[in-house]
Structure formats: structure tokens, C-alpha cells
Amino acid sequence: MPDVKAPLTPSPELTAAGASGVCLRSVTKRYGGVTAVENLTLDVPAASYTCLLGPSGCGKTTTMRMIAGHEEITAGDILIGNHRVNGLPPTRRNTAMMFQSYALFPHKTVWGNVDFGLKMRQLSLAERRQRVGEMLEILELSHLGDRKPALLSGGQQQRVALARALVTRPQVLLLDEPLSALDENLRIRTRGELRKLQRQFGMTFIQVTHNQDEAYALSDQVVVMDHGRIDQVGSPAEIFSRPLSRFVANFTGDNNLFSGTVTQVTPQAGQAVIELAVHGLGKILCCGDYAQVGAEAACCVRADLIHLSGLAEASSPGLDRALPPLTARITAIEFTGYITRVFLALEKTGQDLLYKARTPDWTKSCFQEGQVVALSWLQRDCVFLAH
């Protein structure tokens, strides 16, 4: 059998000099008459992994660049640890940034790329050799030290860029879409390595991504941004299971949305039961923290929490259902591997819905494209969206 190495851990000298949290207070960034980030307030706990998640143009990269010092803020304050860093250059913020393109020097070897930041800090040759050698060993790059970037795979280049950032011992590591250039299998494997390294080093990681799976897999905290503002902050489980807005529900999961008017709110232990009058469907019951009677709002139910049944079963009693069973026609079936996606159109309104099932479960069913089926879901699985 091949030898199995024990997982490497950084020596005390290699770890960050005490991870720092990051605080943004009413931070705004304007480019002329265009506001890229508006009145953003956020706390990133020390030694945590936080992902800024959102579509292109939502302000997440601008936010990261302001933390790093590559963009000046227009208003507000940025604190790293207990220090206000407004106006400080990147070299004085004790942060490191890993760029989406990796930005490796093509004329330098792997060793030279990793050594570059230490050389600019005028560390002694002996200390540089020790730090670079240990970092290359941790990231399993020792055998590639003499190669230049052009001779490396995408995954190897990614690890070189990461080593170059980590070797300077930053208190905060900023990662701008670091996995976007990798194929799917390598991306999944590399994100696991990132999370492992973050825990080993006890460092604060802040990563920009538009990939929700990536954010869920890596984060302690997910920050969902839209149009330069924070829409929701929470754990991956909170963002996935309990979105607070239509935008978050649409962007972060395969949620089916229904818009309507709040007609009744019944307080209960934990969460209120909210009745929503939806045009063409009638009243839907959903769960939320608060709602104002008469307000326009929405609710959502995840695609994997819908129950499909044959029409003959539609009248069977259900437990705590959100509404009487609806009927819908199966318009398309999409096999994606372990999961099968089933596209539906409600017969009453024509609204498109999505149902997701484990492929082994779906293959046992007798449903086919073009068939009319009954849909239902439990009240507790229907989430109220206030805005």
C-alpha cells in the first residue's frame, strides 16, 4: 500500500499573528455619479470564513478591494482588529489578496513567486528560505519549486497564488473568485483544501463568489449582496432554508415563489403563521417572524420540499398542509445525475414551478412528461418573504 502522510499543520512561526476581525461601518463607494456600495455595515468575526455572495455588479468585489486598500472609500469606516484603516495603503493593513487571475509572475519560478512578498519586506535570506520552504511543503508544491507558471496546471497555479498570499502571514486573507477558473471536479476538491487551510491557520478568510454551492460549502457566514447593499447575512443553513426576501430566495436556491397580500397573521411559539392571498390560487399559509396585514409580500417553498402525487391521491388528507393540493402539468424532465429536475406549469395560472427529486426516487415513480399531477407541501416548509 502507498504511504499515507499525516496532515501537515503550520508551525507556530508560520501562522498569522492573531487573526483579526473586520468591521465595516456605513461604508459607501461612489464613482462619480454611480454608487457601487451604499451604506454597508458588516461584522466579520476573527478566524471565520465569510463569503460575499451575489451576482455580477452587486458590489462584492468593490467591498473586498476597499478592505484591502486597493479602493478608497467615499464615506464610512473600515476597521481591521481594533485599528481604523481608512487611507492606509495595502502594505500597512496586514492583509493579503488572492486575485481571480492569480497574477503570478510568468518569468519567476514557483519559489520566486512565493518569495516575492517576503523579499519586498526585506526579510533575511535565511528567514525567507524557511518560510517559503515550509509553505510549499504545506501546499504540496515542494517538487514544483523550480517550475514557471506556464508549466503548471490550473490547480497548481491556484495553490501557488495561495502560498504567496499566506507566506506573508496576513491577519486577513481576501480571495476574489479564486475557484472560477477551475473545472468542476477540481473546484470541489480545491474548496475543501481552502477550508482546511483556513482552519489550520486560524486566519480570517473573506471570499467573493457568485456560486452559491461554493458559499455554502466554505462559509461560517454568508453575506448576500444586491445593488451595492447587503440583503441578508446568516449561516449557510439560514440563507438556504430561511431566505428573507424575494431576491435571496431567487438567487440562492431553487425556490418557487408566490406573490400576494397578507390577510391574516397568527402569532405562535417560534414563528407566526401568515396567510397570504395569492391571485388565482387562493390562500397560502406560510411561516415567518412578522407581517403587516394588507401588505404586499411573497412566500416561497423549496423545489425539494414539494410533494408530487397522482390525481387519485390528491384528496387524501395531508398533515398541516399549506394549501389544498394544486394540479400541474409536467412540462419537462431534466436528468442532472444524482438529482432529477422536473418542470411544471400550474393548471390554474400557468405559473412555472420546479420540483427536485433524488434520481433513484424519481426513477421509481410512474410520472412522465405531459402528465397532470397534484402538488402539495407542508405549512412549515413555506417561508414568508417580507420584501
| CA atoms of 60 and 176, how far apart (whole Å) | 9
| CA atoms of 164 and 111, how far apart (whole Å) | 9
User: Of all residues in the chain, what percent carry a pLDDT higher than 70?
Assistant: 92
User: Of all residues in the chain, what percent carry a pLDDT higher than 90?
Assistant: 71
pLDDT in tens, 239-288: 999 999 999 999 987 999 999 999 999 998 888 999 999 999 999 999 99
Lowest average pLDDT, out of 237-241, 307-311, 379-383, goes to 307-311
Side-chain-facing half-sphere of 56: CA atoms under 13 Å: 0
Mean pLDDT of the chain: 89
Top pLDDT among 18 and 99 is at 99
| CA atoms of 31 and 226, how far apart (whole Å) | 17
What are the grid coordinates assigned to 1, written together? 500500500
- Every domain range in the chain assigned CATH 2.40.50.100: 254-385
Q: In what order do the strands lie in the sheet with 22-31?
A: 34-44, 22-31, 75-80, 83-84
pLDDT score, position 74: 97
| CA atoms of 245 and 125, how far apart (whole Å) | 54
- Every domain range in the chain assigned CATH 3.40.50.300: 22-241
For residue 25, name the pLDDT band (cuts at 50, 70, 90).
very high
Domain 254-385 sits in CATH at 2.40.50.100
Is the model's pLDDT at 290 over the cut of 70?
A: yes
Averaged over 85-106, what is the pLDDT?
89
pLDDT score, position 386: 87
For residue 315, name the pLDDT band (cuts at 50, 70, 90).
low
Question: Under a CB-based contact definition with an 8 Å cutoff, are residues 107 and 113 in contact?
Answer: no
Averaged over 23-35, what is the pLDDT?
96
For residue 321, name the pLDDT band (cuts at 50, 70, 90).
low
Is the model's pLDDT at 11 over the cut of 50?
A: no
Domain 22-241 sits in CATH at 3.40.50.300
| CA atoms of 14 and 42, how far apart (whole Å) | 29
Lowest average pLDDT, out of 66-70, 169-173, 249-253, 322-326, goes to 322-326
Q: Could you tell me which residues come within 8 angstroms of residue 314 by beta carbon, excluding any fewer than 6 positions away? A: 325, 327, 374, 376
Top pLDDT among 322 and 7 is at 322
pLDDT in tens, 338-354: 999 999 999 999 999 99
pLDDT score, position 243: 96
Q: Tell me how far CA of residue 372 lies from CA of 107, 281, 339, 345, 368, in angstroms.
A: 63, 17, 21, 9, 9
Averaged over 172-188, what is the pLDDT?
85
Helix (H) or strand (E) holding 110: helix 110-120
What are the grid coordinates assigned to 85, written together? 484603516
Phi, psi angle pair for 4, to nearest 5°: -110, 115
